[in-house]
């Protein structure tokens, strides 16, 4: 049996891996291999696979056989390419040890640079580079990183030593320190490590290497990684790979640099090279916010009002190489790339590429542009947008005409408007948000420990850091508005205040931020509705061409109907008539009806409601002309309409001219032990047919009236709720048909209409074949169907569902994302049995699930005709439906 391959090499224009091997090599390793094969300048190295990570954890943190030998072999190959030897005192090979999971997990894992340095090899590095300062600078960086990541000696120890040293010697910037200074610091650093760990800093390069590899694997299970995985649904079993790569040095003088870039603007999507770099610096200095980075391009420099020169100006040759790499990578990957690079002595080296995280706005712009550039097809563009992310585009932005008091400006790191209370820590952000507050997390800079707070916040502000800082990258990924690097803010996290100009702000004060402009304002600023034209319209047009599933909306007010129609709703899937009963001017008549002792009394009250209900439907039919409108007849139990509390009881009694005792009596009579399973839905229609008669009449009269106005024909679909028995539907269907005939005769006109039912009881789903004999359509009411299938009350489940999710008993809240295995099985079974009786039975769902992408995909696969969701989710459902079609499920 051939031995398992645990290690894959790359470099020198070739590679054993490929971009497609992300599962095995992690994202970073797979792309380093791919770039190497493309012939791009990538320092040589090798990747230890994710399988090793899993084997390591499966076998009590020991490595499978062969790993060590394969690492040695790969290291030898690397030495051959570079022409130096690992641990060689005269010409040492130095390496970086880098983690790299399948999905990019920014900041979750730590990288160690300059590994291989010790008291002897540092002399070799001086000899080869002829630069003593550089060599000791590299050594002290290595000690700091290695101690922090591998030995658990926090980096603040070293920062304290450095600060003290600077103070004692009257030095300010790191660049003020010379070779002798760093040399002395290295001695102090090593002493500190020994003091903290009880052992000297490891000098054997091989011990260093395995120490770092172990640390990468260990970091897969650390708390930060766990949190990130949970937030992003990444299974633990994916594991991380480890990359070991020959060092190139951006800190070896003024013709050296390190930087990060996006091949297009990740915030707006504009097709402009976008990045930052630092001269004579190493690794993540750029994102750490220690020095202010410079822009790559002149345009970037102008856009950010920077007075530091752009790379285009100071390193024109390197910039040209980089710009060519940019074009090649985009052509090759056919997507926007997020790249990391280092320049050593005027030579460019690529250290990473991956598909860049972007805002929803940028995703849209890039997808549409790439179709126009013939890089991708419209179908691919449709698949590039995360449906849920559209939410960001559908929500309001700051009203440009509103008065605003700008107190500070930073970088427009992640667009969108957010208002809320100032908080200073991630924990408080989480606590306050859980209590229902909108909070703006204000930090000097953010780090991976803050992720839960960033998630809880409605907006994020940092005083330090650029467009590629941790805060900016994470905020864009999460779709949180963010302003980064607002240097005018003096954030004092000890006293929880922000000083800006004359102002002192404290926790709880309200501010607004505009992540599209970088402005921070006092108080809360009014917002305006979003534009749905341009790119958005184009993408939606492509989506609509590919989807089979129709998308309707759940709406009952004219305003909501209009919003939904603007968002592309193709009808109403659920119009809840009871909402209309609560209106102040009609609740009186409704209560009068409930209090009436006789059918006659009820009819009198209903006659007062009829014209109002007709008016409601007339308005809705006008807005939805030409489209189907499903109207559900009265559903909730009657006691919901009665007043609560003595004062209100008295008021209603007075208005109705009855003694208050009568109201009490009625309330007692109507009270139910379990209203959700009580006298409601079609059961009301059976008990009080006059109510449904009035509603049916209002619907038909309205439909004919609108038709007579010359509008396109509406198609009322009358829906009988909570049917469990075919007989119920049969009786009520006959009632609706009788009223229709009466109205058509009176008006001398007819409209097309359907009568169907909501399937929201397991019995109805099971007996669907029978029930379909009396139904023109089924609409799965998955809110109630979830309640009745699980035997779970939506109003009470909050108390324990959270625990269920935390403990992994359920994966997702079944009221948010359809429980496909259980409730979904009833939907599938009901559909199949219903259609076995009536092949043309119209099928849809109208629960909250209609706007959840995973549930929409389920509806597509199950062969439903439409989903119906709240107005703001209509575009999300359209896109999700298109993606489900394209997946060919
Ligand atoms: P992360 O996953 O957090 O981005 P990386 O492994 O990409 O961590 O390492 C961070 C940075 O360290 C890189 O962007 C690069 O600047 C620097 N770096 C990593 N490996 C090397 C190397 N071989 N030579 C020079 N710099 C390196
Ligand atoms: Mg990092
Ligand atoms: Mg990186």
539-559: per-residue pLDDT in tens? 999 999 999 999 999 998 888
Mean pLDDT across the chain, nearest whole number? 92
| Cα–Cα distance measured from residue 178 to residue 352, given in angstroms and rounded to the nearest whole number | 31
Please tell me the pTM assigned to this model. 0.81
Output the six-digit token pair for 491.
């954030």
| Residue 725 near residue 761, CB atoms below 8 Å | no
What digits encode the pLDDT tens for the residues 237-263? 899 999 999 999 999 999 999 999 999
Which ligand places an atom closest to the C-alpha of 112? 1
The DSSP call for residue 859 is H
| Residue 452 near residue 227, CB atoms below 8 Å | yes
Pocket of ligand 1 (CB under 6 A): 43, 96, 98, 107, 111, 113, 245-248, 258, 283-284, 340, 342, 351-352
- Out of 358, 375, 410, a domain closes at 358
Lay out the sheet containing 7-11: strands in order across.
14-15, 7-11, 45-48, 240-246, 95-101, 112-115
> What separation in Å is there between the alpha carbon of 109 and the centre of ligand 2?
6
| Residue 498 near residue 505, CB atoms below 8 Å | yes
Phi and psi torsions of 95, nearest 5°: -135, 165
> What separation in Å is there between the alpha carbon of 282 and the centre of ligand 1?
9
**235, 303: one domain:** no
- pLDDT at residue 108, rounded to an integer: 56
Characterize the bridge pairing of strands 866-869 and 550-554.
Answer: parallel
pLDDT band (50, 70, 90) for residue 109: low
| Residue 18 near residue 33, CB atoms below 8 Å | yes
CATH code, domain with 451? 3.50.30.10
* Partners of residue 630 on adjacent β-strands: 717
Residues with CB under 5 A from ligand 3 (ion): 340, 352
Average pLDDT over residues 794-813: 83
- pLDDT at residue 765, rounded to an integer: 98
> What separation in Å is there between the alpha carbon of 277 and the centre of ligand 3?
14
Residue 389 lies in a domain: no
| Cα–Cα distance measured from residue 330 to residue 352, given in angstroms and rounded to the nearest whole number | 14
Output the six-digit token pair for 241.
């790979």
**240, 303: one domain:** no
Query: What domain count does the chain have?
Result: 4
The answer to whether residue 53 scores a pLDDT higher than 80 is: yes
Q: Where are the beta strands (DSSP E) in 17-157?
A: 45-48, 85-86, 92-93, 95-101, 112-115
| Cα–Cα distance measured from residue 611 to residue 500, given in angstroms and rounded to the nearest whole number | 59
Pick the catalytic residue from 470, 639, 849, 860: 470
The best mutation among 104, 351, 447, 468 to test binding of ligand 1, ranked by most ligand atoms within 8 Å of the C-beta, falls on 351
Atom of ligand 1 nearest to the CA of 352: 7
Residue 646 lies in a domain: no
The DSSP call for residue 174 is G
| Residue 623 near residue 565, CB atoms below 8 Å | yes
SS3 state of residue 275: strand
Residue 881 lies in a domain: yes
Structural domain boundaries enclosing 581: 547-637+672-886
Which ligand places an atom closest to the C-alpha of 288? 2
What digits encode the pLDDT tens for the residues 488-522? 999 998 899 999 989 999 999 999 999 888 999 99
Ligand 1 atom 27, closest CA: 283
**839, 690: one domain:** yes
Q: CB neighbours of 484 closer than 8 A, spacing ≥ 6?
A: 410, 411, 413, 460, 461, 462, 464, 465, 466, 467, 469, 471, 472, 475
CATH code, domain with 807? 3.20.20.60
**476, 602: one domain:** no
- Cα-Cα-Cα-Cα torsion 554, 559, 564, 568, nearest 10 degrees, comes to 150
Which ligand places an atom closest to the C-alpha of 260? 1
Characterize the bridge pairing of strands 715-720 and 754-759.
Answer: parallel
- Out of 496, 528, 560, a domain closes at 528
| Cα–Cα distance measured from residue 444 to residue 607, given in angstroms and rounded to the nearest whole number | 65
> What separation in Å is there between the alpha carbon of 363 and the centre of ligand 2?
24
Q: Which helix (H) or strand (E) holds 834?
A: helix 823-837
Average pLDDT over residues 840-851: 93
Whether 846 is catalytic is yes
**615, 553: one domain:** yes
- pLDDT at residue 313, rounded to an integer: 96
Q: Where are the beta strands (DSSP E) in 256-334?
A: 257-262, 274-279, 294-295
Residue 369 lies in a domain: no
Residue 379 lies in a domain: no
- pLDDT at residue 526, rounded to an integer: 86
| Cα–Cα distance measured from residue 396 to residue 393, given in angstroms and rounded to the nearest whole number | 8
Give a three-class secondary structure readout of 189-247.
HHHHHHHHHCCCCCCCHHHHHHHHHHHHHHHCCCHHHHHHHHHCCCCHHHCEEEEEEEC
What digits encode the pLDDT tens for the residues 174-208? 889 999 999 999 999 999 999 999 999 999 999 99
Phi and psi torsions of 401, nearest 5°: -90, -10
Residue 380 lies in a domain: no
User: Taking Cα atoms as reference points, which of 772, 776, 761 lies closest to residue 836?
Assistant: 772
Query: Taking the CA of residue 509 as centre, how many other CA atoms within 13 Å lie in the half-sphere pointing to its CB?
Result: 16
Which ligand places an atom closest to the C-alpha of 351? 1
Output the six-digit token pair for 526.
């009014």
- pLDDT at residue 477, rounded to an integer: 66
The answer to whether residue 1 scores a pLDDT higher than 60 is: no
- pLDDT at residue 107, rounded to an integer: 52
Characterize the bridge pairing of strands 459-462 and 510-514.
Answer: unpaired
Atom of ligand 1 nearest to the CA of 104: 2
User: Taking Cα atoms as reference points, which of 138, 122, 5, 152 lies closest to residue 70?
Assistant: 5
DSSP helix, strand, coil percent of the chain (3-state; round to 5):
50, 15, 35
The answer to whether residue 889 scores a pLDDT higher than 60 is: no
| Cα–Cα distance measured from residue 142 to residue 117, given in angstroms and rounded to the nearest whole number | 8
Phi and psi torsions of 275, nearest 5°: -170, 175
**234, 305: one domain:** no
Q: Which helix (H) or strand (E) holds 72?
A: helix 67-82
Ligand 1 atom 15, closest CA: 283
CATH code, domain with 27? 3.30.1490.20
Ligand 1 atom 19, closest CA: 96
> What separation in Å is there between the alpha carbon of 732 and the centre of ligand 2?
65
The answer to whether residue 594 scores a pLDDT higher than 70 is: yes
User: Taking Cα atoms as reference points, which of 727, 780, 733, 789 lies closest to residue 758?
Assistant: 780
What digits encode the pLDDT tens for the residues 735-760? 999 999 999 999 999 999 999 999 99
- Out of 223, 246, 269, a domain closes at 246
The answer to whether residue 846 scores a pLDDT higher than 80 is: yes
The answer to whether residue 317 scores a pLDDT higher than 60 is: yes
Output the six-digit token pair for 883.
């993606």
Give a three-class secondary structure readout of 130-172.
CCHHHHHHHHHHHHHHHHHHHHCCCCHHHHHHHHHHHHHHCCC
- pLDDT at residue 737, rounded to an integer: 98
**572, 688: one domain:** yes
Instruction: Give Cα 885 to chain centroid, integer Å.
Output: 22
Output the six-digit token pair for 507.
């926790």
The best mutation among 25, 95, 96, 115 to test binding of ligand 1, ranked by most ligand atoms within 8 Å of the C-beta, falls on 96
Average pLDDT over residues 587-614: 91
| Cα–Cα distance measured from residue 838 to residue 792, given in angstroms and rounded to the nearest whole number | 32
User: Taking Cα atoms as reference points, which of 693, 575, 692, 695 lies closest to residue 623?
Assistant: 575
Output the six-digit token pair for 743.
């109205």
**116, 237: one domain:** yes
| Residue 438 near residue 419, CB atoms below 8 Å | yes
> What separation in Å is there between the alpha carbon of 351 and the centre of ligand 1?
6
Ligand 1 atom 12, closest CA: 283
Q: CB neighbours of 875 closer than 8 A, spacing ≥ 6?
A: 390, 394, 532, 536, 540, 567, 568
Residue 695 lies in a domain: yes
Average pLDDT over residues 574-598: 85
**239, 262: one domain:** no
CB pairs under 8 A, 24+ apart, for 684-687?
684/634, 684/635, 684/637, 684/638, 685/633, 685/634, 685/720, 685/732, 685/735, 686/728, 686/731, 686/732
**590, 491: one domain:** no
Average pLDDT over residues 71-80: 97
Average pLDDT over residues 396-419: 86
Whether 644 is catalytic is no
Is 434 exposed, middle or buried, given 0-12, 13-18 or 19+ CB atoms closer than 10 A? exposed
Residue 648 lies in a domain: no
For a pLDDT cut of 70, what percent of the chain falls above it?
98
718 vs 815, higher pLDDT:
718
Average pLDDT over residues 29-52: 98
- pLDDT at residue 532, rounded to an integer: 77
Output the six-digit token pair for 781.
């009411």
| Cα–Cα distance measured from residue 580 to residue 877, given in angstroms and rounded to the nearest whole number | 26
The answer to whether residue 528 scores a pLDDT higher than 80 is: no
End-to-end CA distance of the chain: 39
Q: CB neighbours of 552 closer than 8 A, spacing ≥ 6?
A: 569, 570, 571, 572, 573, 574, 628, 630, 844, 846, 850, 866, 867, 868, 869
The best mutation among 98, 144, 225, 469 to test binding of ligand 1, ranked by most ligand atoms within 8 Å of the C-beta, falls on 98
Q: Provide the sign of the torsion angle of the four alpha carbons 267, 270, 271, 272, taken in this order.
A: negative
What digits encode the pLDDT tens for the residues 127-158? 999 999 999 999 999 999 999 999 999 989 99
The DSSP call for residue 498 is E
For a pLDDT cut of 90, what percent of the chain falls above it?
73
pLDDT band (50, 70, 90) for residue 773: very high
**299, 175: one domain:** no
Output the six-digit token pair for 121.
């090899």
pLDDT band (50, 70, 90) for residue 644: confident
> What separation in Å is there between the alpha carbon of 288 and the centre of ligand 1?
13
Low-confidence winner among 34-38, 383-387, 443-447, 880-884 (lowest mean pLDDT): 443-447
User: Taking Cα atoms as reference points, which of 483, 469, 319 lies closest to residue 398?
Assistant: 483
Structure-token match 């107005």, residue found: 871
CATH code, domain with 284? 3.30.470.20
**694, 814: one domain:** yes
Output the six-digit token pair for 705.
């009236």
For the chain, the farthest-separated pair of C-alpha atoms sits apart, in whole angstroms, at 107
Q: Provide the sign of the torsion angle of the four alpha carbons 65, 67, 73, 76, taken in this order.
A: negative
Q: CB neighbours of 294 closer than 8 A, spacing ≥ 6?
A: 276, 277, 278, 279, 301, 306, 308, 309, 310, 311, 314
| Cα–Cα distance measured from residue 419 to residue 440, given in angstroms and rounded to the nearest whole number | 7
Pick the catalytic residue from 442, 561, 846, 869: 846
Q: What are the CA-CA distances from residue 418 to residues 479, 525, 720 (Å)? A: 11, 9, 42
Average pLDDT over residues 362-387: 96
Lay out the sheet containing 510-514: strands in order across.
406-409, 519-522, 510-514, 417-423, 439-443, 459-462, 482-484, 411-414
């Amino acid at each position: 049996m051939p031995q398992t391959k645990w290690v894959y090499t790359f470099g020198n224009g070739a590679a054993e891996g490929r971009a497609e091997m992300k599962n095995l090599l992690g994202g970073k390793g797979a792309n380093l291999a791919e770039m190497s094969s493309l012939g791009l300048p990538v320092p040589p190295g090798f990747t230890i696979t994710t399988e090793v990570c899993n084997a390591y954890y499966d076998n009590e943190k020991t490595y499978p056989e062969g790993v060590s030998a394969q690492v040695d072999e790969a290291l030898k190959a690397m030495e051959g390419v570079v022409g130096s030897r690992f641990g060689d005192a005269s010409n040492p090979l130095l390496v970086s040890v880098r983690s790299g999971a399948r999905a990019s997990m920014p900041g979750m894992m730590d990288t160690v640079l300059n590994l291989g340095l010790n008291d002897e090899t540092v002399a070799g590095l001086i000899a080869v580079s002829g630069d003593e300062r550089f060599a000791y600078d590299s050594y002290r960086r290595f000690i700091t990183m290695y101690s922090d990541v591998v030995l658990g000696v926090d980096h603040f120890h070293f920062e304290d030593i450095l600060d003290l040293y600077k103070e004692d010697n009257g030095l300010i910037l790191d660049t003020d320190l010379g070779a002798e200074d760093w040399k002395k610091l290295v001695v102090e650093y090593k002493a500190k490590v020994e003091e903290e760990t009880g052992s000297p800093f490891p000098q054997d390069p091989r011990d260093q290497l395995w120490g770092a590899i172990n640390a990468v694997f260990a970091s897969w299970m650390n708390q930060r990684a766990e949190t990130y995985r949970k937030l992003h649904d990444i299974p633990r079993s994916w594991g991380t790979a480890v990359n070991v790569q020959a060092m190139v040095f951006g800190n070896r003088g003024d013709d050296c640099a390190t930087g990060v870039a996006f091949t297009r603007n990740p915030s707006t999507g504009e097709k402009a090279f976008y990045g930052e770099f630092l001269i004579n610096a190493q690794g993540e200095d750029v994102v750490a916010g220690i020095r202010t980075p410079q822009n790559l391009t002149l345009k970037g420099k102008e856009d950010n009002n920077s007075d530091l020169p752009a790379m285009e100006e100071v390193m024109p040759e390197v910039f040209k190489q980089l710009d060519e790499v940019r074009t090649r990578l985009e052509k090759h990957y056919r997507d926007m790339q997020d790249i990391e690079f280092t320049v050593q002595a005027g030579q460019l080296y690529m250290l990473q590429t991956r598909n860049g995280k972007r805002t929803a706005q940028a995703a849209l712009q890039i997808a549409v542009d790439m179709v126009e550039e013939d890089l991708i097809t419209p179908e691919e563009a449709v698949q590039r947008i995360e449906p849920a992310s559209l939410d960001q585009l559908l929500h309001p932005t700051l009203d440009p005409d509103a008065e605003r008091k700008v107190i500070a400006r930073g970088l427009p790191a992640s667009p969108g408007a957010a208002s809320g209370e100032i908080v200073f820590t991630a924990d408080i952000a989480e606590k306050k948000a859980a209590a229902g507050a909108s909070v703006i997390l204000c930090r000097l800079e953010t780090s991976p420990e803050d992720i839960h707070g960033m998630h809880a916040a409605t907006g994020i502000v940092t005083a330090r850091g650029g467009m590629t800082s941790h805060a900016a990258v994470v905020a864009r990924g999460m779709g949180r508005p963010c302003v980064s690097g607002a240097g005018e803010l003096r954030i004092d996290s000890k006293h929880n205040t922000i000083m800006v100009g004359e102002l002192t702000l404290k926790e709880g004060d309200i501010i607004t931020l505009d992540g599209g402009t970088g402005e921070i304002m006092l108080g809360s600023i009014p917002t305006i509705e979003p534009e749905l034209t341009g790119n958005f319209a184009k993408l939606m047009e492509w989506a609509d061409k590919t989807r089979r599933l129709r998308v309707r909306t759940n709406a009952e007010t004219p305003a909501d109907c209009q919003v939904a129609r603007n968002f592309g709703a193709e009808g109403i899937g659920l119009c809840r008539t009871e909402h209309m009963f609560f209106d102040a001017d009609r609740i009186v008549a409704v209560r009068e009806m409930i209090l009436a002792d006789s059918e006659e009394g009820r009819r009198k009250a209903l006659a007062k409601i009829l014209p109002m209900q007709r008016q409601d439907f007339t308005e809705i039919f006008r807005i939805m002309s030409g489209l189907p409108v499903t109207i559900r007849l009265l559903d909730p139990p009657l006691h919901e309409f009665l007043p609560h509390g003595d004062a209100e009881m008295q008021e209603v009694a007075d208005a109705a001219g009855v003694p208050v005792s009568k109201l009490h009596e009625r309330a007692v009579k109507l009270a139910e032990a379990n209203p959700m399973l009580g006298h409601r839905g079609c059961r009301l229609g059976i008990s009080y047919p006059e109510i449904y008669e009035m509603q049916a009449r209002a619907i038909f009269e309205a439909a004919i009236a609108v038709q007579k106005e010359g509008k396109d024909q509406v198609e009322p679909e009358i829906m009988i709720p909570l049917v469990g028995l075919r007989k119920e539907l049969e009786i009520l269907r006959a009632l609706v048909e009788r009223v229709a005939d009466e109205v058509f005769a009176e008006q001398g006109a007819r409209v097309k209409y359907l009568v169907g039912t909501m399937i929201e009881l397991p019995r109805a789903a099971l007996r669907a074949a029978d029930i379909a004999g009396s139904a023109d359509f089924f609409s799965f009411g998955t809110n109630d169907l979830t309640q009745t299938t699980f035997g779970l009350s939506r109003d009470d489940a909050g108390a324990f569902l959270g625990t269920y999710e935390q403990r992994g008993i359920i994966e997702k809240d079944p009221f948010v994302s359809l429980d496909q295995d259980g409730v979904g099985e009833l939907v599938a079974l009901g559909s199949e049995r219903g259609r076995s009786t009536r092949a043309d039975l119209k099928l849809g769902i109208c629960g909250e699930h209609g706007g959840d992408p995973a549930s929409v995909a389920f509806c597509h696969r199950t062969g439903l005709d439409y989903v119906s969701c709240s107005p703001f989710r209509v575009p999300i459902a359209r896109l999700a439906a298109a993606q489900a079609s394209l997946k060919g499920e």
